[in-house]
Structure 1
Amino acid sequence: MGSDERIAHLVKDAYRGWSSALQARLRAHDVMYGQWTFLRILWQSDGITQRQLSAQAGVGEPTTFSAVQSMEKLGYVTRQKMRDNRKQVRVFLAPKGASLRALLVPAAEEISDIALVGISAKNVAITREKLLAINENLPRAKASAQDDAHGDDRTL
């Protein structure tokens, strides 16, 4: 890999390595990678609606429904319809799901520690800052592509 390696490829490769290491640690606790995303959200915002959970996870509602259903079968979460709005379903951590936090968060932190060996705190902070900027900029690329695709529509 030379210095001309595209940033997108480096980010993709880093993500693959990071997620592979995380998946191995999650599997040791019978947690799937997709469930990890939802658990992390619920550890911060227990009792949110399935729709809110979908939005925060950045996935479609059918995906969230399936994941929550499987996590409920595993005893990680419970779903409750609200008395004041029977259509609204809120997702709550079950004790088993809440207790996973003490096992999984340190495992994820260990991966970060391993991945960042030999990188100064200053460079980690710079990398974080630059990745946040990239993530902020990328929606503009998508919007630009959509504008280009529909450019002829606006002139009519």
Structure 2
Amino acid sequence: MDDHRAPLAEPFPLENSFGYLIRSTHRHFQNYLSLRIRPHGVTLGMWYFLRVLWEHNGLTQRQLSDQVGTMEPTTLEAIRAMEKRGLVRRERDPADGRKRLVFLTEEGEALRAVLLPIAREVVDEAAADFSTEEREQLRGLLMRMRSRLAKATAASD
């Protein structure tokens, strides 16, 4: 009998996969951060949009989607939830009335002083055993990896 199946690949345990380790670590970051911000009435879904708006207030829904990396319907759902919670408001773009810009309310802006220190604590907890040099090295390595993957993805488009 002729067997034309591809040979089995070499073993590749999950612990050897950077992608798996990064994803798994990210999931743990999300879970822990979610626990820490929940008492402040903020969900993890809201968190990512708040982070962007704290840096770039007054973005369109599309710009928020691009910055956070979500589809526009997901972004719209998050914006509505944040509006209901009193964290953001939407206004027509004076330059293009078809667009609506998303702005933080006073309450949304005030959360910055509460939630960013919590986020720093989560990062510090995760890297508590790392020296300052190891933290910088890891940050640099992850940034290089992200850059290479972004270039490879762009080259494939």
1:73 matched to 2:84:
yes
Structure 2 residue identity aligned to 1:129 = G
1:38 matched to 2:58:
no
Structure 2 residue identity aligned to 1:5 = N
- Distance in 1 (alpha carbons) for counterparts of 2:95 and 2:123: 43
TM, length-normalised to structure 2:
0.83
Q: 1:140 to 1:74 in 2, by over 3 A?
A: same
SS of structure 1 residue aligned to 2:101? strand
Alignment of 1:24-35 (within 5 A): 24-35=35-46
- Distance in 2 (alpha carbons) for counterparts of 1:83 and 1:124: 44
Structure 1: 5+ residue runs without aligned partners? 148-156
Matching residue of 2:105? 94
Matching residue of 1:64? 75
SS of structure 2 residue aligned to 1:46? coil
SS of structure 1 residue aligned to 2:35? helix
Matching residue of 2:131? 120
Post-superposition offset of 1:15: 1.1
Deviates more, 1:4-13 or 1:18-27: 4-13
- Across the two proteins, how many residue pairs are aligned to each other? 144
Structure 1 residue identity aligned to 2:146 = N
SS of structure 1 residue aligned to 2:29? helix
Structure 2 residue identity aligned to 1:64 = T
TM, length-normalised to structure 1:
0.84
- Distance in 1 (alpha carbons) for counterparts of 2:119 and 2:72: 26
After superposition, the CA RMSD in angstroms is 1.9
Residue identity over aligned pairs, in percent, reads: 38
SS of structure 2 residue aligned to 1:91? strand
Q: 1:84 to 1:118 in 2, by over 3 A?
A: closer
SS of structure 2 residue aligned to 1:124? helix
Matching residue of 1:15? 26
- Distance in 2 (alpha carbons) for counterparts of 1:34 and 1:123: 30
Post-superposition offset of 1:66: 1.2
Post-superposition offset of 1:5: 3.0
Structure 2 residue identity aligned to 1:82 = D
Structure 2: 5+ residue runs without aligned partners? 1-12
- Distance in 1 (alpha carbons) for counterparts of 2:96 and 2:145: 40
